[in-house]
């Protein structure tokens, strides 16, 4: 494809417009997170703040590059802003993929949870490769030579990123499908919502990563692939914040489900039956013993289903990463 102003500077201008819009969404979600979950672990509060700061720096870097490209009176040979954006994008992507990989590691049974360890390992080395790539982009004065010299690394980063997103999404969907078979209808509806959410968020970032890869392989000479990559970081951070804030809707679904109502009614009935049994304890008979056993069995069943449902929120926000 012929290199023109439209598929170089024009593509970056469109990308920065979409990127800034998505940054606004991230900012709104971050504000909502701190409003909804003031009691969250400090680790997650700092984690969210750091991701937002990375996003701010990423937006400033890309905006600077577009401003320089559109106002410079000489041909630009160095892309300091885009190189910096590559490094910050790597930090954002690594943070989000590590978060989701850790969730896979905490929730899946052995040996399947090692998929999470593999995901964290790949995310780390993708970050290292992206930092090397970004540093070379800042220092280079020959964009064409930079692109051709690092073709293998760029391709590897894009392929591994898309693959990792798909593996994480499939792992969690299979986990939720397995859990769904072991719970009653109230918890099953909650798990269905989690499954749909996992597919949407995982599919979005995976499709975006594949789009960047296709653009790079088919049109490496222009900036369309770089424009698509600029938007990718914002999709990751929005996916992270949507996952954290989804707990509010999850809690509402749990309280509104027939499971919560039936559990409350069962507890009330159990209290009446226990008080009645206490008053008649001196007249305990075999049938009375059976009643007590039935009450105990019902209580165990309720606790089992409640435990399975409580795992739904643990699915969204696992224990502190250590």
pLDDT category at 284 given cuts 50, 70, 90 is very low
Query: What's the rounded Cα separation, in Å, for the pair 163 and 70?
Result: 36
Which DSSP string corresponds to 263-306? Answer: HHHHHHHHHHHHHHHHHTGGG--HHHHHHHHHHHHHHHHHHHHH
User: What average pLDDT does range 171-193 have in this prediction?
Assistant: 62
Predicted model pTM: 0.75
pLDDT category at 305 given cuts 50, 70, 90 is very low
**What would the pLDDT profile of 107-141 be if each residue is shown by its tens digit?**
777 877 888 898 899 999 999 999 998 888 888 87
Q: Which of 11-20, 193-202, 299-308 has the largest mean confidence?
A: 11-20
pLDDT category at 209 given cuts 50, 70, 90 is confident
pLDDT category at 313 given cuts 50, 70, 90 is low
The domain ranges of the chain are 6-257+309-316
Distances (CA, A) of 308 to 72, 78, 176, 193, 315: 60, 55, 11, 15, 11
Lowest mean pLDDT among 92-96, 201-205, 242-246: 201-205
Range 6-257+309-316 has CATH code 1.20.1070: yes
pLDDT category at 77 given cuts 50, 70, 90 is low
Residue 40 has pLDDT above 70, yes or no: yes
pLDDT category at 80 given cuts 50, 70, 90 is confident
């Amino acid at each position: 494809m012929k290199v023109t102003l439209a598929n170089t500077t024009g593509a970056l201008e469109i990308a920065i417009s979409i990127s800034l819009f998505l940054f606004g969404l991230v900012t709104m979600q971050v504000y909502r997170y701190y409003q909804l979950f003031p009691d969250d672990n400090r680790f997650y509060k700092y984690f969210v703040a750091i991701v937002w700061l990375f996003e701010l720096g990423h937006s400033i870097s890309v905006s600077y590059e577009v401003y320089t490209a559109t106002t410079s009176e000489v041909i630009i040979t160095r892309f300091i802003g885009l190189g910096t954006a590559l490094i910050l994008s790597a930090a954002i992507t690594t943070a989000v993929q590590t978060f989701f990989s850790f969730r896979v590691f905490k929730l899946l049974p052995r040996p399947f949870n090692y998929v999470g360890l593999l995901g964290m390992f790949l995310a780390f080395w993708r970050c290292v490769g992206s930092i090397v790539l970004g540093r070379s982009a800042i220092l280079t004065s020959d964009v064409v030579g930079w692109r051709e010299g690092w073709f293998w690394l760029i391709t590897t980063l894009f392929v591994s990123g898309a693959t990792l997103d798909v593996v994480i999404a499939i792992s969690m969907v299979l986990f939720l499908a397995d859990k769904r078979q072991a719970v009653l209808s109230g918890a099953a509806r909650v798990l269905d919502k989690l499954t749909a959410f996992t597919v949407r968020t995982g599919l979005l970032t995976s499709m975006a990563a594949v789009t960047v890869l296709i653009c790079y392989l088919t049109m490496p000479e222009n900036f369309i692939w770089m424009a698509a990559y600029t938007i990718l970081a914002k999709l990751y951070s929005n996916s992270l914040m949507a996952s954290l804030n989804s707990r509010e809707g999850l809690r509402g679904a749990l309280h509104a489900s027939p499971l919560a109502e039936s559990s409350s009614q069962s507890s009330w009935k159990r209290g009446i039956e226990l008080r009645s049994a206490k008053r008649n304890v001196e007249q305990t008979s075999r049938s009375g013993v059976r009643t007590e056993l039935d009450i105990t069995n019902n209580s165990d069943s309720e606790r089992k289903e409640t435990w399975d449902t409580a795992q739904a929120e643990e699915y969204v926000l696992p224990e502190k990463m250590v």
